Amino acid sequence: MSERWARAMLSAYRYAGAAAYPLIGPYVAWRTSRGKEDRVRRRERYGVAGRPRPEGPVIWIHAASVGETIAVVPLVKSILDYGVNIVLTTGTVTSAQVADERLGDRIIHQYVPLDLKPAVSRFLDHWRPDLAIIAESEIWPMTMLELGARRVPQVLVNGRLSDRSFSSWKKRANIAEALFENLAHVVAQSDVDGERFRTLGARPVTVSGNLKVDTAPPPVDERALASLKRQIGERPTWAAISTHDGEEVVAAEVHATLHRRHHGLLTIIVPRHPDRAEALSAQISAMGLKLARRSRGDRITADTDILLGDTIGEMGLYLRLTEIAFVGRSLTSEGGQNPLEPAMLETAVLAGRNVQNFREAYQRLLDSGGAKLVRDRDMLAGAVNFLLTNEVARHEMMAAGAATVDEMRGALARTLKSLEPYIQPLIVKSRLKGADGR
């Protein structure tokens, strides 16, 4: 892409903002999350390295937030087994914690630099990556231009394009083509995503399936799980997880509707953003419901209506406390959240109809009977009531979801095959350097 193209594109982005170009939002995302970043490591946002560069080849892998980080963990581990150094960047404190918990000191973690030329240049000057692997939908103009100028291959893995993003890019086809031509390879999640990338000018494009399917189930602290199970006892439960604004109140209203029919019912609400817990606690308490907050260590007593899961990194705990899970950002918000984690833990999955970002996963679960979509609060209450009442139907749904996840596996192997032409030379180079002792 010419410098004139780059200037025009970046000027358009500065003028229109992230709303017009939904895939190009790192700077705006950082601006809106100020106050939540790791202040001790803030300089990394400006490309100032927090660690020395290791000897030998380096692969830069970027995963924006928690979901993407969890998705690339198996891929990172597979590459590490070849003996190649990895610098993993993420954009949030929570995703940094996930990287530390699951990968430890096997990788070098850095916060991703802002998509501004001085920050990106400083980052690349220090780390000198031999290959850049980006997860899902992180398309940054300046970073792509700088990598292209240095002739560093860029591969997008687990790539996806939402309906909104694809529509926006199609309106700016010339800009899209100028950007996507910088990608050496796109490994898309689904046939729909693959065709969308091809339409926008990406070449070559292969389809791998969703890397999230090949991840391990979310971990759990067994002692915490045993403690909560003792407190809950034989009470019936259901959960509303990864909820967004409005969905927590819907879940509380469903609880109020059902608790007389199902004696002792406990509803578990896990907001996508735990920093909303204070406001949610006030809202739910104002409805006359008694609430226990996990972050405060509140005990679940016989008269507790709601367990508010306002902690980070404990989804595996909450999902193991129930057999029914409504997955949020699908009823009052759009796009959906990942249904694969509850399904792989043999949980019956419910969701609203706005699940475009996980279209293929939901379609597979719906076809097998592992998930059901609901239209509104009343339909959600009816679905939860049915599953609580009908044990056989509930267990059939749980088993169907787990079986569907097993059938969907294989994305990791297909992704590694697509990456082989880029990684194999680095493996050889790393081994030769090791043999030379340099």
Report the distance separating Cα 229 and Cα 235, nearest Å: 10
Q: Which amino acid is at 398?
A: M
Specify the length of the chain in residues.
438
Cα 156 to chain center, whole Å?
15
Report the distance separating Cα 162 and Cα 335, nearest Å: 8
Q: What is the CA radius of gyration of the chain?
A: 23
- Please report the DSSP string for 346-375 in residue order: T-EEEE-S--GGGHHHHHHHHHHTSEEE-S
Report the distance separating Cα 32 and Cα 125, nearest Å: 28
Q: Give the CA-trace dihedral at 15, 136, 164, 330, to 10 degrees.
A: -130
Q: Give the CA-trace dihedral at 220, 342, 94, 83, to 10 degrees.
A: 80
Buried b / exposed e across 15-38, counting CB within 10 Å, b at 16+? eeebeebbbbbbbeebeeeeeebe
Catalytic residue among 44, 55, 68, 195: 68
Identify whether 334 is a catalytic site residue: no
Tokens linked to 34: 């100020």
Q: Find residue 157's DSSP bridge partners.
A: 135
* Residues tagged active-site: 68
